[in-house]
Structure 1
Amino acid sequence: MELLKQKIIEQGVVVSDQVLLLDAILNEQVDPELTMEMGKAFAAIFKEEGITRVVTVESSGIAVAFATAYELGVPMVFARRKKTLLADPDSYVERVPSFTKGIVTDLLLSRKFLKADDRVLFIDDIIANGDAAKGLIKIIERSGASLSGVGIVVEKCFQQGAKTLREQGIRVESLAKIASLEGGTVHFAE
């Protein structure tokens, strides 16, 4: 997706050869036009899959997942990272490490919003090691729902997350693939 690549070059900040900061377009500030275009792109990619629900992990995946769900005309559900007083006590829970946060957190997703007959599309902002994705996929599997695919805004190809999911037979589609961040520069794959 050329618009996304352009925004990454213009507004992304390479922190190290492992970390790309995208807070100006995905994580702290959301670019509405870009977000809606990403939603349209994911909806077009997965339109033949009969998706009934789009899922994501809070918080950075929510905007793109919402745009995708809107385009597909289905509900969007997100897994929380923290239990609150109002959280549904009957939730699926999976413990996962976070590459960017450097901590282990719980993913919680209410059972009432994920059913065995759902065809699920998982959307996320960035995939590095894929730990959050693996955790949410375990939740989807436990629910009995079927995972139709995973849509990733930015895939860091030099880390193993997306590759590991593909090796498990999971369809992973990424809008931008980064081959490396060496020398403080974003190098796109393909």
Structure 2
Amino acid sequence: MQLLKDRIRKDGKVGAGNVLKVDSFLNHQMDIQLFDQFGKEFKKRFADKEINKILTIEASGIGIACVVAQSFNVPVLFAKKTKTKNIAGEVYTSRVESFTHGRIYDIIVAKEFLGKGDKVLLIDDFLANGAALEGLIDLVKDSGAELVGAGIIIEKGFQGGGDRLREAGIRVESLAIVDSMDDEKGTIVFRGDE
């Protein structure tokens, strides 16, 4: 998606340790008009699939998933990283290692909101090593729902998570795939760049 690549080049910042900061428009301050374009693009890319639920993980994926869900006219469900008092009853649980936060945590979804008959599209802001998506995939499988695929805003292609998931038969649609970054030069190379 050229619009996204241009925005990353304009406002993204490359940091040490393969960090791409896009917090000015994606995962801290959110550009809702840009998110609307994401929703339209995912609707086009998954036009051949029936989807009745969007699933994401807190926190950065929630805003994106909500706007994307408007394009599909379906509800959003998000996996929580901690069990709170307002989640009563049985839950599905999976373990996830966060690349960004450098720690392992449990994610949970209440069983009443995910189950057989659901056709689920996963949405997230980043895909690096694939751990977050694998955790969400486990929740979908445990629930008996059908995984339709995953929509990712930015994939760090050089970290291999997306390729590994595709090889496992998961449909992963990424709007921008970063093949390399250089924090000293501040440069970003996207898959498909000449």
TM-score normalized with structure 2 length: 0.94
Instruction: Judge conservation of contact 1:36–1:67 (CA < 8 Å) in 2.
Output: yes
1:162 aligns with 2:169: no
Provide, for residues 40-85 of structure 1, a one-character-per-residue CA deviation record: whole Å limited to 9, x for no partner: 1111111220101111011111122112211111111111112222
* Alignment partner, residue 187 of structure 2: 185
Query: Separation in 2 of the partners of 1:55 and 1:72?
Result: 13
The CA deviation at 1:20 is: 0.4
Aligned partners of 1:64 and 1:48: how far apart in 2?
A: 21
2:174 & 2:109 partners in 1: Cα distance?
24
CA–CA distance in 1 between the matches of 2:50 and 2:92?
24
- Of 9-18 and 156-165, more deviation after overlay is shown by 9-18
Gaps of 5+ in 1: none
- Output the CA distance in 2 between the equivalents of 1:48 and 1:67: 20
Gap runs ≥5 in structure 2: none
Q: Distance in 2 between matches of 1:58 and 1:89?
A: 20
Distance, in Å, in 2 between the alignment partners of 1:5 and 1:41 is 14
Which residue number in structure 2 is paired with residue 64 of structure 1?
64
- Code of the residue aligned with 1:87 in structure 2: it is I
CA contact (8 A) 1:16 1:184 kept: no
Find runs of 4+ consecutive structure 1 residues off by over 3 angstroms: none
TM-score normalised by length of structure 1: 0.96
Instruction: Calculate the aligned-residue CA RMSD, in Å.
Output: 1.1
Distance (Å, rounded) in 2 between the aligned partners of 1:138 and 1:88: 21
Q: SS where residue 101 of structure 1 aligns?
A: coil
Tell me, yes or no, if structure 1 residue 144 matches structure 2 residue 141: no
Higher normalized helix content (fraction of residues)? 1
1:38-77 matches, cutoff 5 A: 38-77=38-77
Structure 2 letter corresponding to 1:186: I
Percent pairwise identity = 44
* Alignment match, 2:78: 78
Can you list the C-alpha shifts for 1:26-53, whole angstroms capped at 9, x where unaligned?
A: 1111001001110111111112201011
Task: Look up the equivalent residue of 2:140 and give its one-letter code.
Answer: I
* Contact 1:17 1:181 survives alignment (8 Å): no
1:88 Cα deviation (Å)?
Answer: 3.0
For this pair of structures, how many residues does the alignment match? 190
Aligned equivalents of 1:81 and 1:180: distance in 2?
30
Per-residue Cα deviation, 1:105-146 (whole angstroms, up to 9, x for no partner) = 111111111121111100110000010100110010010011
Distance in 1, matches of 2:36 and 2:111, equals 28
The separation in 2 between residues aligned to 1:105 and 1:134, in whole angstroms, is 13
